[in-house]
Amino acid sequence: MTYQVNQLVDVVTACMQASSHKLVPKIMYWHQRTYSFTRLGFYHPTSRGQRMIHVFDMADETHTFRLEFDAESLLWQLKYISDGEP
Amino acid sequence: MNPSSLFPYNPAQPQLMHIDLNSCFAMIEQQANPFLRHRPVAITNRLTPGATVIAASYEAKAKGIDVGTRANEAKLLEPSVVVLETDPPKYIYAHRVFSEIIGSYSNDVAMKSVDEGIINFSHSRQLHPQPLTEVAAQIKQRFKDTLGEYVTCNIGIAPNRFLAKLAAGLHKPDGLDVIAAHNLEATYRQLPLLKLPGINRRFKARLAAYGITNCLEFLAAPESLLRRQVFKSINGHLWFMRLRGWEVDDYPTAIRSIGKQYVLHQPTASTQQLEVILTKMCEMLGRRLRGKGLSAGGLWVGCYLKDHSSWATRQKFKTRLYSTQSLFGAARHLLAQRPAEAVVQTLSITSYALEPAKSLQVSLFEATEPAHSRLADIIDHVNDRYGEFCVMPASMANTQHLVPDKIPFGSTRYFHKSSLAA
């Protein structure tokens, strides 16, 4: 099941210049809870007009998360959370 | 008969590499969501029971679910199948990464579709002197490093495009095969005719009518038989050469038409509702046309009706169609000719007689299209900058849910420039 969230969240990231993914979310704080991501599923950039949005499909042991980073506002938004099933 | 006695096989070293991402859309969804890996996954353009599967994971294919299966049929074949709606931005990004990777090996590359590309190493061997199988292994690893560890691709290496594509399909998934003169007959010996790219059931039946029932017999067939009797055209000669590894498929293709199709959620006979949908389709069609710098001389409008019949009409116009306004005016004029009370299930529009837009000519008697054209260009510019449909005709208000932009099936030539800009 997928739950639409669309809320701004706090995210701790890792920046790795030698990796093919330069910036990867590691920890997310949302509703007084801490979520530690165990893997990056897929990254893709997209654009809304000339605004660059970096989209990360992340996963922990039980859930998947869609996070978007707005390169203009420098804000993270949690788009949805899912138990892995559609 | 010894087929090699008829005409030599191309003895050249294989220099063409065909790369094909495995079940691209399904695999990318499995990469994005680790809980879907090693499970049957089917991708459709819409989450409705009648929607057609446009990509299936290998696990789904093993259960008989393939491109063209309807979602409800897929559920019957495999109740645990996960049906997902397409997520075009992901696939467009994968396509962009694909293009960048293969473009780094040669300046002679061609993307054949979203997930298929060809590298011609003929003029770049000095840059890559190692065996092409090593280069192929490197490309496979680069896909994994960039797109994700679950992403695999088939690679075929051969002296022409046809054999390279054939080689790429020999050992799916994650295959790597080389076809050259020395193993050409051995490769054909193990394949049924339908495995050959470009041979469908209709062609198979046509070949069978002349006693050609397998690939080796096809290879052995004289050129005159193929040209004069089987294909009755130059195609017979092309197949004769193609099968022997000679290149006959390296030619540019021009865009002859650009179209848009939409399956309505609720079939309707209402002109008002259809015109709202038509406006948005014309805007999206216009964006594609203008993105390519083209204008249309004619328009085709067709409907698939609820009673399973269809209707279509076309017309060429004196003034070129370029702006959304002119396209909509022409499309509305044609749609009005549909049978009264026709309940429309699917609406299609296609522009044809395409020419570069700069040749627009001012008409003395009809609406001043160049003025509309300039306005269309300005609106496109605003939408490029601030996002799609920031500025749109008032008649398109509240149509966000209608006619979503979907991934163009097969071809990449209609990708809008803003889709690839990120």
How far out from the chain centre does Cα A61 lie?
Answer: 15
Interchain pair B418, A47: CB under 8 A? yes
Interchain pair B34, A55: CB under 8 A? no
Residues 6+ apart with CB under 8 A from B104: none
- Model confidence band, residue B417 (pLDDT cutoffs 50, 70, 90): very low
Which of A46, A57, A86 shows the shortest C-beta gap to B422? A46
Q: Mean pLDDT lowest for which of B29-38, B161-170, B254-263, B311-320?
A: B254-263
Nearest CA in chain A to B90: A44
pLDDT higher than 70, residue B378: yes
Q: Any bridge partners for residue B261, and if so which?
A: B348
Which of A41, A47, A64 shows the shortest C-beta gap to B421? A47
Chain B nearest C-alpha distance from A1 (Å) = 12
The answer to whether the CB of B313 falls within 8 A of the CB of B337 is yes
pTM recorded for the entire structure:
0.82
Q: Nearest-CA neighbor of B151 among B3, B23, B62, B305?
A: B23
**Ramachandran quadrant class, B295 (left: phi over 0; alpha: psi -120 to 50; beta: rest):** beta
pLDDT higher than 50, residue B147: yes
Interchain pair A49, B83: CB under 8 A? no
Tell me, what's the pLDDT at B362? 59
Which of A49, A52, A84 shows the shortest C-beta gap to B384? A49
**DSSP track, A24-62:** EEEEEEETTEEEE--EEEEEEEEEETTEEEEEEEEE-SS
**DSSP track, B263-289:** EEEEEE--HHHHHHHHHHHHHHHHHHH
Residues 6+ apart with CB under 8 A from B138: none
The answer to whether the CB of B320 falls within 8 A of the CB of B361 is yes
Interchain pair B35, A20: CB under 8 A? no
**CA B83 to CA B81: how far, in whole Å?**
6
Q: Dihedrals φ, ψ of A28, to 5°?
A: -125, 140
- Helix, strand, coil in percent for chain A, rounding step 5: 0, 70, 30
pLDDT higher than 80, residue B406: no
Residues B225-234: pLDDT tens digits? 999 999 999 9
Is the Cβ of B147 closer than 8 Å to some Cβ of chain A? yes
Tell me, what's the pLDDT at B264? 86
**DSSP track, B218-266:** HHHS-HHIIIIIIS-SHHHHHHHHHHTT-----------EEEEEEEEEE
Which of B31, B148, B422 shows the shortest C-beta gap to A47? B422
Q: Mean pLDDT lowest for which of A5-14, A17-26, B154-163, B361-370?
A: B361-370
Which of B84, B93, B387 shows the shortest C-beta gap to A45? B93
**CA B163 to CA B9: how far, in whole Å?**
12
Interchain pair A42, B82: CB under 8 A? no
Mean predicted lDDT score pLDDT of chain B:
88
The answer to whether the CB of B89 falls within 8 A of the CB of A44 is yes
Query: Max Cα separation, chain A?
Result: 36
The answer to whether the CB of B102 falls within 8 A of the CB of B116 is no
Interchain pair A44, B90: CB under 8 A? yes
User: What's the sign of the alpha-carbon dihedral B54, B58, B62, B63?
Assistant: negative
Tell me, what's the pLDDT at B413? 57
Residues of chain A contacting residue B36, judged by C-beta atoms under 8 Å apart: 84
Q: What is residue B52's DSSP assignment? A: B
Is the Cβ of A17 closer than 8 Å to some Cβ of chain B? no
Q: Which residue has the higher pLDDT, B8 or B167?
A: B167
Tell me, what's the pLDDT at B1? 45
Tell me, what's the pLDDT at B73? 95
Which of A49, A59, A83 shows the shortest C-beta gap to B387? A49
Chain A nearest C-alpha distance from B301 (Å) = 30
Residues of chain A contacting residue B90, judged by C-beta atoms under 8 Å apart: 42, 44
Tell me, what's the pLDDT at B7? 79
Nearest CA in chain A to B381: A49
Which value does ipTM take for this structure?
Answer: 0.92
Interchain pair A20, B94: CB under 8 A? no
Which of B31, B145, B390 shows the shortest C-beta gap to A42? B31
Residues B328-370: pLDDT tens digits? 999 999 999 999 888 999 999 999 999 888 655 556 665 556 6
The one-letter amino acid at A8? L
What is chain B's Cα-based Rg?
Answer: 24
**CA B140 to CA B67: how far, in whole Å?**
24
Is the Cβ of B238 closer than 8 Å to some Cβ of chain A? no
Nearest CA in chain A to B36: A84
Q: Nearest-CA neighbor of B122 among B241, B247, B250, B16?
A: B16
Chain B nearest C-alpha distance from A36 (Å) = 16
How far out from the chain centre does Cα B296 lie?
Answer: 21
Residue B205 burial (10 A CB sphere; 0-12, 13-18, 19+): exposed
Q: Residue B203 belongs to what H/E stretch?
A: helix B201-208
